[in-house]
Amino acid sequence: MSLVVLLTSFSSLRAQAKVEIYDPGLDGLIQIKEAVKKASSSGKHVLIQVGGNWCGWCILFHNYCNEEQEVKDILEEQYVLVKLNYSPENRNEEAMKLLENPGRFGYPVFVILDGDGRRLHTQDSGLLEEGKGYDKRKVMGFLRGWAPGAF
């Protein structure tokens, strides 16, 4: 098999396996408003994961949350989750302004809002990493520390 055919096949497989967890067509302000309303009525907080489909660490965190049952459980029990797109297609500038421009910490970046829509915390995701992935102890500490029952 020639190198060109091999590279073309690899590129095709990568395109098919592309993960789409962020929707660039969504208005971030509407996403936040709906999540706050849901959080208010359910006694939860809002966890906004800001990033994009271009971001390897964003996809890694998404997959991590689906694979780690304890993380998945606390997210479902304590938070309304929003995947807020930030990409060349849609920078969600008004939503980013509302969240006090969290992108300065890199991506993904996590923002916690209470049921009234007040920003409680912005988390640099790099502080939750260990080696080439996320550290369960750090992630769980972050999620427990900002859950509604924590204060």
Q: Between the CA of residue 76 and those of 18, 97, 103, 131, what are the distances in Å? A: 25, 27, 25, 26
* Domain spans, the chain: 19-150
pLDDT at 4 over 60: no
Q: What average pLDDT does the chain have?
A: 91
Average pLDDT of the residues in 12-31? 79
pLDDT at 8 over 80: no
Q: What is the pLDDT of residue 18?
A: 74
pLDDT at 145 over 70: yes
What pLDDT, in 10s, does the model give residues 54-95?
A: 999 999 999 999 999 999 999 999 999 999 999 999 999 999
Please state which architecture CATH assigns to domain 19-150: 3-Layer(aba) Sandwich (3.40)
- Name the pLDDT band for 104 (thresholds 50, 70, 90): very high
What pLDDT, in 10s, does the model give residues 120-140?
A: 999 999 999 999 999 999 999
The percent of residues in the chain predicted with pLDDT above 90, rounded, is 87
Q: What is the pLDDT of residue 26?
A: 98
Q: What is the pLDDT of residue 6?
A: 41
